[in-house]
Structure 1
């Protein structure tokens, strides 16, 4: 993987993160790379919350991957703390390189460090390649997810 650095995202990373989020058919419909203001505002909210971890993978000064990890204290499962992995993206030229595995392993390791007993994630039903990837890493498709657009 060369000189890969996985670190917290900063304001300078926002354009590259948004480009990664928009670089697929689903993201192209949801993201607005032409207006970064809401993304900067979101980064400010995330940065102020100790349970939010937005990270980037950087090689040779270029952002090539990202994910968000949220730590959620809870009452169920005997007061278990869980984490949720969201917005996993790897630059198209880096797919198949092992970077996605490194990002998910970072999230699992950080979840353990934070005392989580469970790591969960969702993936759009159309992302069948991603489903196979997560299953190879030990995740199981255990629930049906629902969303309500507000």
Structure 2
């Protein structure tokens, strides 16, 4: 399986939203329709113009089979350190369990290290226990308790 990982383009937004909506949780919060709501394109433009954000897609042939967002956060702790946050990891349901996620995550970890990060962090919904196990297999440890406050 030959896979290409690259920065997403505006033309990829529809396929990325398709991936985001391709599970039980995503179906409840995404609007994968034609045409896509303009908010997705506005979000893409904001991400694409921010040097601390990378939106990545994985391709096999002409098909986008995975995506993730890598965000760099510079902060004062760790002596002015920088960490990477991985979000929005999705793999096409036809390709789950075939190594696509592992390749993408290893790429993101290597890119984070190359760009000067000392730590990579991510969260996963507690309703996705298989994702938690997958991340543990890659070396992530559940060292912190994460909390979220939805502002809706």
Fold-level similarity (TM above 0.5): yes
Query: Alpha carbons of 1:5 and 1:36: their partners in 2 closer, same or farther (altered >3 Å)?
Result: farther
Instruction: Tell me the residue number matched to 1:9.
Output: 8
State whether structure 2 residue 25 is matched by structure 1 residue 22. Answer: no
Instruction: Tell me the residue number matched to 2:47.
Output: 46
Cα displacement (A) at 1:5? 1.0
Instruction: Tell me the residue number matched to 1:79.
Output: 80
Cα displacement (A) at 1:78? 2.1
Number of aligned positions between the proteins: 149
CA distance in 2, matches of 1:64, 1:104: 14
State whether structure 2 residue 119 is matched by structure 1 residue 103. Answer: no
Q: Is the 8 A contact 1:83 1:118 kept in 2?
A: yes
Cα displacement (A) at 1:24? 0.6
Q: CA RMSD in A?
A: 0.8
Runs of 4+ in 1 over 6 A off after TM superposition: none
Q: Is the 8 A contact 1:15 1:36 kept in 2?
A: no
Give 3-state SS (helix, strand or coil) of 1:93's partner: coil
Cα displacement (A) at 1:113? 1.1
Cα displacement (A) at 1:56? 0.2
Instruction: Tell me the residue number matched to 1:119.
Output: 120
Give 3-state SS (helix, strand or coil) of 1:57's partner: strand
Gaps of 5+ in 1: none
Instruction: Tell me the residue number matched to 1:63.
Output: 64
Cα displacement (A) at 1:36? 3.1
CA distance in 2, matches of 1:25, 1:92: 12
Cα displacement (A) at 1:80? 1.4
Q: Is the 8 A contact 1:72 1:82 kept in 2?
A: yes
CA distance in 1, matches of 2:136, 2:18: 26
Give 3-state SS (helix, strand or coil) of 2:85's partner: strand
Gaps of 5+ in 2: none
Q: Is the 8 A contact 1:5 1:59 kept in 2?
A: yes
Give 3-state SS (helix, strand or coil) of 2:94's partner: helix
